[in-house]
Structure 1
């Protein structure tokens, strides 16, 4: 008994809280007590906890009834309880095996900071049909602290509760049972919703949704031999183990469903101990920010049986992460549509033993579409279908064995359509079908092909085992407008790959570069701001393959603001301006002065606003540039000093026609509008500085003999500046033209005088085109025309206005009516032919039966167009180089035609009877070798026929006497001759 008293005192000291509850029912004076059942009717007195309230019953009285109950009694609750924090209590202690049946009533904490509710130290205690809501537990308090063995919670609901420093249920008694209960929207800042510390516990047929905690969004389990079955975990979250943090030996999870749970590691479960057995469970759409979308195995060996993992996502191990060299056995399970950077379904940093399982449609953004194994994997009787990754479409494996398995339709964006072997692998009795890799390693990719032990492999893929090479990519971020330079290195076994091709993709566009000195370089210009990624692939099928991915950013241009202000006409009025150090910058600049914001658009790199009626003082002005699609934000400050007197420059914009009489006029006054005479005013226009002196009225001016165009003008006096624009309009208005040779298109130009009026009818104007001068007359609208009958080409036409003397130029582009004519390279008598396309006077393809003439090798041919305007000439010439000239409508177009021989042979020098053979290679119309072709040889007047082998080579033994001979090889009407020299 002494020990028992000490234990109770210890528990009371450890439970700190203040809480009471009152019933929400009407007053009832008839409380009844029977031998085996106690009915409690608690009257509604107040929403605060007090020791006595006008005859009403409190939670204290319920506690007394429980204390006085006999073992085996059932206490029925007939009312709801609404609780407030008012005076101290240690909670309701239960020391005997009683049953409390809530009949669906509530214990509502009202969101107040509360302490413990029930503290059950009796064995065989049962709580059922009770709703616990809105408890806000402080310190280390709980709704239920369960210390007795063989306890049971059945058909209870826990909703919208929060445990600041503990858990809702702290279960420390062995062989406890939790049945048919629901946990909704509960949270724990430290700990979890349920902290199961005892052995042989059972949770069955429960529902956990939208709960959150630091570890184990719904449950932390540390007791051994625990079992959770037939339960659903949905939308729970935690740092580790979105639904469950398992730290108890020899636990079992059976027939549970996990949906949409989230964590940093272990989206559904984090297991930190050995002996966990997961069977008949379903994991769907769980997510981890870091590792293991569903289960993170961190602490010991485990098993998975008859389970499914669908659409789970993580950075590493879309469904499962195996850490710390532990052993995981997986039997008869399926992994479908899981996604990660490494290991679309499973990432292995331990040992994986996989039996009779299915992997389908899993994706790894980097390596191991289904499995990434960094240690050892043993795979038996399993199927991998339609998985994909950059490397290792199905599996990326360091070491292991694959037996009686099938890998089909897996894809790799770079290497290893089915397998990417990092060190060694043994494969037995397995099938590979329709796997693909961009670098040609469709089945298996490995740096060391000798490390792969293959026994009875069935493959339908093109490549069996392809040797990997190292592909190094050097690329860095750039700033918008810069050139992106990419440097690529190709290395393997001191081999030289010069002349081979490296294929590059950049944002889904493809490029090819030739390897020189085992390197390849490429540059990209005019890249927009953004993130870019792609692949570099080296495919030397079937010998070597390899590649890698890369990414870089095109960043916005950093900017600087150069602020300036100048006085203008008005009462203490100023022009505030901000120059951005990039003329191409757009966006807005905000000027903040005395709490007022002024905003202006940036044009030609400058934004400006006008402020006036400022009190003489010093002002701090904050300038903020918004940035735009290619320029970064920047800011600056300037100080504006407003005095009593200052100069004011007025320089209006000017708009005039070329050689017109208008002048640029500047007026200089002080801020009281008094003229400033005899002052030197500096005017900058078109990059040239001019100085003018003001007259007695403060006015200075200058003539504007500039070519037509728009000009920025800066006028400056002392430290004051103002900005203007001058627009010189052209007195000749014409446009570039594009026309088909000899069609009806004309060049037209309109001529104006220096005031902008059209020149009179029949005014002579001149055109200079291709060095020839033409005189034409204007019509009543001042328009003159010139017919263009030039040969195809690009010309500059210059029109001269006799009134203003302005010379104005346009571009004339005369197009050929013969287009789509290209050089042709073909093999002798293949199907490649020479085509041109004919255009009519409007630039549209002609119809059928329009004739064109071809001249090739001195022979003329006439052919006719089809309905699309194409004209074809069949090319059946002997091998050689030719010039073909097509003629239509007075225009000629020439191209080169190269006919390649379909027979390839070299002269032969040999010793008499040394066994040498004369070889000729036979090619088809695409340059590929022809097998079993009958080739005729004529040597020394004797004819022989030989058949080409699998490489397209036909051979003739040479047993002639010493001397020189001419040998003629013939196939498909083509004859070639070579020399045979035989020395004694």
Structure 2
């Protein structure tokens, strides 16, 4: 901002944004030394309590439309926001808030012919002149300004004019031996203390007053209230009008009692509309800062009119009267009306009616009425909570009371026998009146079947004693009461029918050979079960069943061959209940048996190896004489279960050690699913002992001789063919050595484990 000012001398510069103090190394403020106009455009300069804002040393300077905040100067010569040493300066439409200096908290003037106008000073502080210190200045002009909680001070200036300003909680301190003019300032005086002298040297000052037009207003009507400043001359004692234009921006806070106002904030001279709400005294107050003034009005009741309307003859034991209350201008009112009711038989009845805005209908109650009489009603208006008690001219009307005709209507709820029920209503003919009481006699084909009482014009869900199907003429006779005539004209033709039925069950998916049932329930239309009734069910053949408790039957499904069935169910009906037929889907799926096949370990030496499995159905019962197969090492074996459900397989060609996977298969049939079971079978390696010359184990020796011969050894010796005789002697030993040598084994002539393994006899 300092750069902008230095570059703008001799012209007008505008502030396009707010400014705040930044570290600059000095606290005397921005120095202005030439002609310049600074237009703040409503922006704020905030010194943050660190420095003075402007030091006006020379030049013709104008400052306008700027808010100065938190300026601070600790030097004796002060000027918290501005120190002004130049002539012919102008400060206008500016606001000074929370500035501080020992002298001139907001402004310290030290030059002549400067003007301050239309400014606001709020909570600025100093030892001398919290708002302005007019130090050595002469001919300064301060006008149209508002001072709140700060003051003006001067002891050396001369010829200063301080006029048309507002001082709230502050003062003007001068050496009044000099030439000062402080006329027409407002120091907070109002019409109740306007003669109080705000300053020893002040002869003319302003005070707040108000006018009301009219001074007296009736409830709901309006008065115009205006708050304005007036001038008072203490020398002559005269009060004169004052042009409030200098304070056009001053806002008054408006409040009211015993009525409503059209605005809560108003300007001086602005009209405030006050509408009275209740009889008594109404007050309207205006407040600014710590100054408040209240003007009072007298509120009086409004004049009213009361109108009662009815026809001369009302054929109704409960007659209606229209009540209308208005003011003298025919504007509708609410409130309370007192009625006095007399008939020609000497009876008198008093009541009050709360009337809403507009016409309110009063219904003359039946318990106060005798038939064939003349009724006179007199009324007068008592007012309401707002108006208070208001007497009004008496209004009067009359009518004659006769009985009403009644209309009977019957609606059948249920046409089925044993449950035949009706609703009956009795209403006033050509009226909204309710037939509150009376008795009804009900006939079926002209025979009385019931007699009942009605309440509030109706009898509901009346169960009639009709037990056979067929056509009936139902008629109803109403006895009448003290309000309504009797009525014997209603009749209606109806047909009683059988009670409908329903058969319910669920579609079922089950498995063969399980304890599953098809549960079927027979109910009537009211969901009541029908016990001891006969149902015909066609499920794999027709059969009849009798329902038991809860109207149910149960059909076992476990023995049905797996497939999809349609269960056709029917009830033939009887004298009371209607027939019913339906069908349900039953799906029986194949069962899955179980195969128990355990891991088995065989010895290598076992010539015949036996392996057993157990086959059971889905209930865990053994399956006898059933064919199963077992596949192992590429070969398939077949066996049939015995009476214990056990099948035995014999292996005679499984001669190599190792672990084998056996697949046991049951192929299934029309009742059971196919099933495959896997099992592990192990062949243990033989426990081998070295065989040497002279061995007694002929079987092993034969096996060795045979294997040697198959491999080209132990064929003949000295032209003689050698025999496989199981005798381990010289020729067998020689053949073993040749085999060992050829296969790079240790040549011992003995068949040890390595030689036997190489011969593949183990």
TM-score norm. by structure 1 comes to 0.23
Structure with more contact order per residue of length (Cα contacts < 8 Å, sep ≥ 6): 2
Please report the TM-score for the alignment, with normalisation by the length of structure 2: 0.29
